[in-house]
Amino acid sequence: MEQKASFKTSLFGGYEKESVLKYIDDMSRAAAESEAKLQEQIEQITRSRQELEEQIAEFEKRMQDASETIDAEKGKNKKLSEMIGLLQEEIDAMDDEAFQLYLRYHFATCEREDMLGVSNHVVDIFRV
């Protein structure tokens, strides 16, 4: 934004005061406009930064929640795996007659929609 100034010279040497003052006013006005634009850019960048910081905080919270959910699910998975192992041992220990009875019960509960999930909430008691 560099400009070369050309001033009128006065009759007795030097420059005409009016020209110099006008130049100074023009430069002051241009500097003020430039400063205002830069200040607006600073404010806009500051707002954008604040919005991004809020988004980061929100994502960090969501990641923490997801991590906690994953940890809880891992605990459930471990318990279910242990239960499956125990159930597998029980099934492996059954004789053919008890196993056939278990299969009939299992298929009966699997085929009925109203029984879905029941095995997760009740204790199965078999008489052999």
pLDDT in tens, 55-77: 999 999 999 999 999 999 999 99
* pLDDT given at position 33: 97
C-alpha to C-alpha distance for 56 and 81, rounded to whole angstroms: 36
pLDDT band at 3 (very low <50, low <70, confident <90, very high): low
CA of 114: how far to CAs of 60, 117, 118, 123, 126, in Å? 41, 9, 8, 17, 21
On average, the pLDDT of the chain sits at 84
Say if residue 21's pLDDT is above 80.
yes
pLDDT band at 51 (very low <50, low <70, confident <90, very high): very high
What b/e string do you get for 52-80 counting C-beta neighbours within 10 Å, with b at 16 or more?
A: eeeeeeeeeeeeeeeeeeeeeeeeeeeee
* pLDDT given at position 83: 87
Whole-model pTM: value is 0.48
Say if residue 7's pLDDT is above 90.
no
Say if residue 126's pLDDT is above 80.
no
C-alpha to C-alpha distance for 68 and 70, rounded to whole angstroms: 5
